[in-house]
Amino acid sequence: MMVLETVIYEKKENIAVISLNRPKVLNAQNRQLVADFLEALKTAEADPEVKVVIVRGEGRAFCSGDDLSEDHRISSAEDGLRIIQALQDTTRAIMGMPKPVIAAVHGYALGAGCEWAMNCDIRIAAAGTKFGFPEAGVGATVTNAGTKLLPLLVGLGRAKELVFTTDKIDAAQAESWGLVNRVVPPEQLMETAIDMARKIVRNSSLSIALSKKALSQGVHQGFEETLEQETRDITIVLLGMESAKRAKAALAKTKEK
């Protein structure tokens, strides 16, 4: 176990569990939480024994968004850029990690909390969890690739409704809109997440890593690009990396003709 100031990192079998640990403020995001969360994510990615990562929250919430009690004043544009880049680096770490990341969400997933959940590959929510984007109500905007991911998950019209109105939706509605994969009773949340992680662990890590990348890229690229990606991936898993490089070169020559 690794205990940071605002995050707890545990490894169970081949599963890393990262717990956001500011329960007194419903795990509201501050600069320390961002730094600790990023460190835990990098630890999980670097550990060859870890095959799946679960992100959860201690106490009564997953993450209630920005900690508005923290001084958000910045001394310069460069200072502001460093702060937002540190935050966006957590998104890069989750989405760029070759290992699947499961969000086990309960209580509240608001603002950055909802964004972090969307960054994850799979979202399991406890019944009664509230989701929403309060940013417009406090003069802020959506970050962590939320403006890209939210429309992909729920559709553009619903995404605009959630962001513009700052309304919250419950777990059942989030499931019906496609924001979460499934809803379970609160007492079954971690059990369900662990069971799903164990199913994933039994499968090929290389296949899953390639599939995660291909699925994430596939929604943004053309049909031919997708077919080429799939050709490279199947070559890697069936013939090995060196054969894949040769196949890629052969494919390039074929396209030149």
Active site residue ranges: 115, 135
Longest distance between any two alpha carbons in the chain, whole Å:
64
SS3 74: coil
Residue in 183, 217, 234, 209 with CA at minimum distance from that of residue 53: 209
Q: b/e per residue, 188-203, with b = 16+ CB within 10 A?
A: ebbebbbebbeebbee
Cβ neighbour number for residue 148 with a 10 Å cutoff: 15
Strand partners, 126: 184
Q: What is the Cα gyration radius of the chain?
A: 19
Beta strand 15-20 with 7-12 is antiparallel
* CA distance to 12, 20, 96, per residue, from 214 (Å): 28, 29, 11
Strand partners, 15: 12, 52
